[in-house]
A = this chain, B = another copy of it.
Amino acid sequence: MRYSKIPNETIRRLPIYLRGLAMLAQQGERSVSSGKLADFVSVPPFQIRKDFSYFGDFGTRGVGYDIANLSRQIKKILNLEPGHKAALVGVGNLGSAVLAYSGFRIYGFEVEAAFDNDPAKIGKKIGRVSVEDISKINTLARRGIMMAIIAVPEQTAQQVADSLVAAGVKGILNFSPKRITVPKKVKVITIDFATDLARLPYYIPSS
- Would you call A1 an interface residue if the criterion is a C-beta within 8 Å of the partner chain's C-beta atoms? no
- Would you call A195 an interface residue if the criterion is a C-beta within 8 Å of the partner chain's C-beta atoms? yes
- Please report the C-alpha to C-alpha distance between residue A199 and residue B172 in the assembled complex, in whole angstroms: 11
Inter-chain contact B97/A194, CB cutoff 8 Å? no
Convert A171-207 into 0s and 1s, putting 1 for each residue whose CB lies closer than 8 angstroms to a CB of B. 1110101010000010101011111111111111101
- Please report the C-alpha to C-alpha distance between residue A20 and residue B63 in the assembled complex, in whole angstroms: 52
Within residues 108 to 158 of chain A, which ones have a CB less than 8 A from any CB in chain B?
109, 146-147, 149, 154
A9 to chain B, nearest CB (A): 11
Inter-chain contact A100/B107, CB cutoff 8 Å? no
- Would you call A12 an interface residue if the criterion is a C-beta within 8 Å of the partner chain's C-beta atoms? yes
Copies in the complex: 2
Convert A88-112 into 0s and 1s, putting 1 for each residue whose CB lies closer than 8 angstroms to a CB of B. 0000111011101101101101000
The closest CB in chain B to the CB of A185 belongs to B205
- Please report the C-alpha to C-alpha distance between residue A201 and residue B107 in the assembled complex, in whole angstroms: 11
The closest CB in chain B to the CB of A177 belongs to B103
Convert A73-93 into 0s and 1s, putting 1 for each residue whose CB lies closer than 8 angstroms to a CB of B. 000011111001010000011
Inter-chain contact A12/B189, CB cutoff 8 Å? no
Inter-chain contact A198/B97, CB cutoff 8 Å? no
- Please report the C-alpha to C-alpha distance between residue A7 and residue B15 in the assembled complex, in whole angstroms: 25
Inter-chain contact A197/B86, CB cutoff 8 Å? yes
Given contacts A19-B177, A191-B191, A204-B170, contact A198 B100 (CB under 8 A): no
- Please report the C-alpha to C-alpha distance between residue A9 and residue B186 in the assembled complex, in whole angstroms: 24
Q: 9 nearest interchain CB pairs?
A: A93-B97, A15-B198, A94-B97, A79-B201, A187-B203, A171-B200, A15-B195, A107-B198, A103-B194
Can you give 16 contacting A-B residue pairs, CB < 8 Å? A11-B202, A12-B195, A15-B195, A18-B198, A19-B194, A78-B199, A78-B202, A79-B202, A79-B207, A104-B197, A170-B205, A171-B204, A172-B200, A185-B205, A189-B196, A191-B191
- Other than the known A14-B202, A171-B201, A187-B200, what 7 A-B pairs have Cβ atoms closer than 8 Å? A15-B199, A94-B94, A107-B194, A107-B197, A147-B197, A189-B200, A191-B191
